[in-house]
Each structure stands twice: as C-alpha cells, then as structure tokens.
Amino acid sequence: MAEGMDLDVAVIGAGAAGLAAARTLVDAGIDTLVVEARPRVGGRAWTALHVATPLDLGCGWLHSAEVNPWTTMARRMGFTVDRTPSRWGEQYHGLGFSPAEQEAFHEAATAFYARLGAAAHAGAEGRASGLLDPGGRWNALLGAIGTYIDGAELDRISIIDHERYADTQANWRVREGYGTAVAAMGHGLALTLDCPVTTVDSRGPCIRLATPHGDILARAVVVTVPTTVLATERLTFLPARPDKLAAAHGLPLGVANKLMLRVKVPEHLPQDAHVFGSTTRVATGSYHLRPLGRPTVEGYYGGELAKELERGGIAAFTAFALDELAGLFGAEIRAKLEPIVATAWSRDPFSLGSYSHALPGHADDRQVLAADIDGRIYFAGEACSRHDYSTAHGAYRTGVAAARAIIAARAG
C-alpha cells in the first residue's frame, strides 16, 4: 500500500457490511479500497475447515432465509443452501425435557414474547427480564435462549429493540459455510489486509485514515467496525464524534461462543437433532447433534457463561459440554466425543464480542450510529440495522445502503 493513497472511497472493515458496500460501489464504477485489520476477510463470518468439514465459527444460519439476500447470493456464487430445519424448539427423545414440558414451555414463551410485543407497541421501555412471569417455571430457559439470541442476559436487553427485530422463522444453512459465502464476495475487490485503521481525520479536504502502514486519503469513507471498537476508542475520529461514541456504548456486543466436538463414531448420535443442556439454568448450552449429517456436535453458549468459558479455553468448554451431554445421554458419551475448536469472540481484538444488542433505553441509538457525517463519513454494520441487527444480512443491507447514499451524493 502506497502511503498517501488517494481514493474515491475507503471502506474500513472487510466483514459482511464492508464487502457489500465495496461491491456496490465498485459495480457503480467508483474507485474503492477495503482496509481490514485482520489477515482475512469475512469479519464475524468465518468458516474453518476440519478434515474437509466446514465449521462456521461465526454466523452460521441464514436467518429469515427466504428474504435473506445472502441466500440468493450464495446460490448465485455456486454454494449450496440447505433447508434442513434447525430443530431449536425440539429436544431429542425428550431427554430431560418431556413432550408435556416442552408444550408448557412453548406456551410460557408465547406469553412472554406477547408481553414484550405489547409493552413495546405501547412505548414502554425497560429490561426484557421485567416481563418474565414472577417465579415462572420456565424463566431460566427463557433466559438461556435470550443469551443465544442477544449474547446477553435479559436484564441487559431493551424491550423496544428486541421487539423491532424482524424474523420470518426460516433458518437455513450454506453447506460450504456461511463464512465461505461472505468471504467470496471479496473476490476481485481491492483489499488491504492486516491493516487496522486507528484514526479517521476529516479536518482536511480529504479524509485521512491513519494505519500502521501509512496514511490513506479518501474523499468518502464507510466505517463498518463493531460498536466495541468505537466504544473502546480503538478507532477514533478527528474532530471527536461524541454522539457516535455514546451510541456505541448503548449498543454493546453480546457474546456467543461455539464449541465444535468430533463424534468418533457418527452412528452413536442422531443426525440433525437438538438438545438443551438444562432447562433449569440460564447458564446452559444448546447442542446441535450431527448438523447436516456431519460427524460433529456444535455447542452454543451465550452471555456470561460464554465469557466465563472463554477464560478457561477449550478445556473449560469441553468439560462443561461433556458434563451436560453426559447428564442427558449417560456417562458413556464422554468417550465418544473429542474437541476440535472453541471460539473466543470477546477476546478477539477486532470484534470484542459477537453481535449487538441495545441496552434498555438505547433502542434508538441504532439510528444515531447509522447517520452519516457531513455526507463524507458513512456507517454500516449489523448494529446500524433497526430490524436486522445481529445478523449478516443486516450488515449486508446497511453496507449496500451506505454505498447507495454515496452514489446518490456523487450523482447529485
């Protein structure tokens, strides 16, 4: 990268939002460079291979799949979209969660989310946990699911923000990996990797981006870094932008982590089945057994549990998972599984978390974060999305919107 490079547009971040913005700009004939802190593209979309098996260590599900733009793009790029149901609401053979209990839980969940919806539509803000049934039998499991959805416990979740999330309930997968599909969008783009931007200086006629490899000059910039990077001021602005800093603090990233286990003899576990580790604890895992028929178990953990297990590394994840699975399948399951990899998103220096949620009272911070600055600095990313936050398709749509705003400004 040549110091002082002069561009039409610089995009900070090569995740789903940054790649979508860059692709839209390049297709419109606008000179664009994507500058990425990591040595890879994709951001929080990341597929790793283990013995030829794709493992999505970041986003893995095409949520709202029938209207998700990544569904169409994945197919267009030659990837395979698998429509096998997620089974999240089911417990294999009722282990520790009988059919009658599952029915009672679904009734309690329906009532809880109805209360959330009614409160939000009435303009009542507060902690989502405040709408749990006092002393309710299913509060722990509702809380656990809350950590999977938002990466944080319900007492940190805004009622209004939660209700604004749009979900068609269709959840599909890319067989080659969601992260593989997102990364493929970067093919052919001008990319500078392993190059964190530390300052966006808009005091001059061109915007100056400070990086360890020299400054970059651009006429417009699209910022797609996570809110945690802004809130910790790992990326700063000159002049200072206190409104953006405040919005970033109101929209922290929750934490969700995965543990991938290998099934030594696949026939020992059912295919595409699901179990909760416990129905009586918020701190429990959700386990997808042999997803897409592969010889793996995918454990999913959210909130404080995810952060606690991170501190102990893969050994802590594995011990926790084996204890929970042995409680369901019997002690013999321990010898049939071995760890492959565990994620640690809150310790990733370029994300410091998994996906955003609004703190109570901060639902409207998403619009503040998404607003451009003087028609020169634009913002995109899942945290900027009012209805599709926490998703790769929300990131994509905000990236495209930022790019179209730049294109319109140039045409005007």
pLDDT given at position 5: 54
Q: Which range has the worst mean pLDDT, 82-91, 113-122, 245-254, 357-366?
A: 82-91
pLDDT given at position 319: 98
pLDDT given at position 144: 98
pLDDT given at position 51: 87
Residue 278: count other Cβ atoms within 10 Å of its Cβ: 18
CA distance 385 to 253: 14
| pLDDT value at 1 more than 50 | no
What confidence tens digit (pLDDT) does each residue in 92-121 have?
999 999 999 999 999 999 999 999 999 999
CA distance 355 to 389: 8
| pLDDT value at 3 more than 80 | no
| pLDDT value at 2 more than 70 | no
| For range 199-227, the mean pLDDT | 97
Which residue in 220, 240, 231 sits closest to 402, CA to CA? 220
| pLDDT value at 180 more than 60 | yes
Mean pLDDT across the chain, nearest whole number? 96
| For range 185-194, the mean pLDDT | 98
With contact defined as beta carbons under 8 Å apart, do 116 and 162 qualify?
A: yes
CA distance 93 to 379: 47
| pLDDT value at 216 more than 90 | yes
Tell me which of 267 and 330 has the higher pLDDT. Answer: 330
| pLDDT value at 4 more than 90 | no
CA distance 203 to 359: 32
Instruction: State both tokens at 49.
Output: 């291979």
Instruction: Sort 203 into a burial class: Cβ within 10 Å, 0-12 / 13-18 / 19+.
Output: exposed
With contact defined as beta carbons under 8 Å apart, do 244 and 228 qualify?
A: no
| For range 341-358, the mean pLDDT | 98
pLDDT given at position 367: 98
pLDDT given at position 122: 97
pLDDT given at position 9: 98
pLDDT given at position 199: 98
What confidence tens digit (pLDDT) does each residue in 23-47 have?
999 999 999 999 999 999 999 999 9
Question: Which amino acid type is present at position 205?
Answer: P
CATH number of the structural domain 5-41+186-252+358-411:
3.50.50.60
Cβ-Cβ contacts under 8 Å for 45 (sequence gap 6 or more): 15, 16, 56, 58, 59, 178, 179, 181, 182, 183, 392
What confidence tens digit (pLDDT) does each residue in 78-88 have?
999 999 999 99
- Domain definitions of the chain by residue range: 5-41+186-252+358-411, 92-172+256-347
What confidence tens digit (pLDDT) does each residue in 135-175 have?
999 999 999 999 999 999 999 999 999 999 999 999 999 99
